[in-house]
Structure 1
């Protein structure tokens, strides 16, 4: 008994089945006919014994009659014809399957080309969206920097306006003190002039009285009159000097009033500049909001493109797997039909 349950009778039946189909009864073909069981060494030994047995029978049958040869020849011709028809039919089927496979391969390659084009297009769109996203991010950063700069400028301007207000208040305080000093000077000058006038009037009355009383002694009192005249001149000079000082003080007050008006103008301009900066800050904040909304939209579009790219890659992998399966199937078909071609050749 041979290994794996294989005996000579089973090998003989498998060999006869292969010969009936017009196939060469090789070791591998017989083993496949037996269901891929049995040792190749055992099958080779049984095949060799069967060939030697048939060769002996052929030698013993050399002397058979021509009638037996005539009966066997049509059967052999019929078997040969059936084998040729089977081979032709299988060849046509193989050619049809090959043509169908080639058509499907061309269609798959076209689909791969289209998908590759879509992948390239999606990659380009993704790159463009990435660049736009980067530009939007840079614009947003610039806007934020500009916003910070404007906020700092607004704070500096507010501090500058505060300093200006302090200067204006200081000038107003100085102007008030100057007005008070001027008013005090005017009052003092007025009182002094009134005192001088009263004194002069009193002196004049006294002089007149003395003049009436001392008309007889006019020559003796001429020196006193001269002294009184000099005193009058001195008082006049003092009055002129005080009037000049009063005019200079008035000029200084007018200059300070002009400076105060100029500072008020600068204050108004500073307030106007502050309003312009606040309006610009509001516009930048609105633009920043729009840029953030655009950035969110671009992020959503980029996510959708990533999803589409992943789906395209998945479909491309499936097509590649289908092509590999078809190629493997074609290879197996070619290997199955190779022994038949060898027998035909």
Structure 2
């Protein structure tokens, strides 16, 4: 009688048993579960087909964890992801609001800076005009002091001449009085 050989159903059952036991289904593990029968070249494509049809079960077997635990961890993970996304969205919105407020403050600072620069320019122009006017006044005072010194000198000269003339008049008056008294 001829041997029937290893079929896909046999490999699938053996793989499911290995996964249920918390083991990763491998070619050697399937062969051992089948009682040491079947060639590796026969089992390999059948096991590959089973793995393609059962990716979640395969992942569970690779982790060596029960399906309920994997699902629970996935649920917690998804919940954490959703909460993290919400927190991130809140942080991003707060950051955007803060950035907008800072941009507005920066724009206001630019406006104030421009206004202060304008005031500074006006004050610089006023200072330049006042400096020019002050220098003109200093020059005028210096010229006036020179003129005043000249006038003082002229006054002293005139006072001296007047004193000399007064002395001459007094001398002439004495001489006239002496000549008139002699006559």
Give the number of the structure whose residues are more often helix, by fraction. Answer: 1
Structure 1: how far apart are the matches of 2:77 and 2:150? 108
Q: Which residue of 2 aligns with 1:283?
A: 122
Q: Which residue of 2 aligns with 1:305?
A: 144
Q: What is the CA distance between 1:247 and its match in structure 2?
A: 1.1
Structure 2: how far apart are the matches of 1:230 and 1:340? 157
Q: What is the CA distance between 1:341 and its match in structure 2?
A: 5.2
Q: Which residue of 1 aligns with 2:85?
A: 246
Q: What is the TM-score with the length of structure 2 in the denominator?
A: 0.54
> 1:199 aligned to 53, 56, 61, which one?
56
Q: Which residue of 1 aligns with 2:102?
A: 263
Deviations 1:68-122, CA, capped at 9 Å, x for gaps: xxxxxxxxxxxxxxxxxxxxxxxxxxxxxxxxxxxxxxxxxxxxxxxxxxxxxxx
User: Alignment RMSD, CA only?
Assistant: 3.0
Q: What is the CA distance between 1:238 and its match in structure 2?
A: 3.2
The aligned runs of 1:5-24 (5 Å cut-off) are none
The aligned runs of 1:215-254 (5 Å cut-off) are 228=67, 232-254=71-93
The aligned runs of 1:112-151 (5 Å cut-off) are none
Instruction: Count residues in correspondence.
Output: 123
Q: What is the CA distance between 1:294 and its match in structure 2?
A: 0.6
Structure 2: how far apart are the matches of 1:266 and 1:292? 38
Greater radius of gyration (CA): 1
Structure 1: how far apart are the matches of 2:68 and 2:100? 48
> 1:330 aligned to 165, 169, 173, which one?
169
Structure 2: how far apart are the matches of 1:229 and 1:247? 27
Gaps of 5+ in 2: 1-54, 61-65
Q: Which residue of 1 aligns with 2:159?
A: 320
Structure 1: how far apart are the matches of 2:92 and 2:106? 21
Deviations 1:298-329, CA, capped at 9 Å, x for gaps: 12321332233234323322331232122111
Structure 2: how far apart are the matches of 1:230 and 1:293? 91
Structure 2: how far apart are the matches of 1:343 and 1:228? 165
Q: What is the CA distance between 1:231 and its match in structure 2?
A: 5.0
Q: What is the TM-score with the length of structure 1 in the denominator?
A: 0.31
Q: What is the CA distance between 1:290 and its match in structure 2?
A: 0.8
Gaps of 5+ in 1: 1-197, 204-226
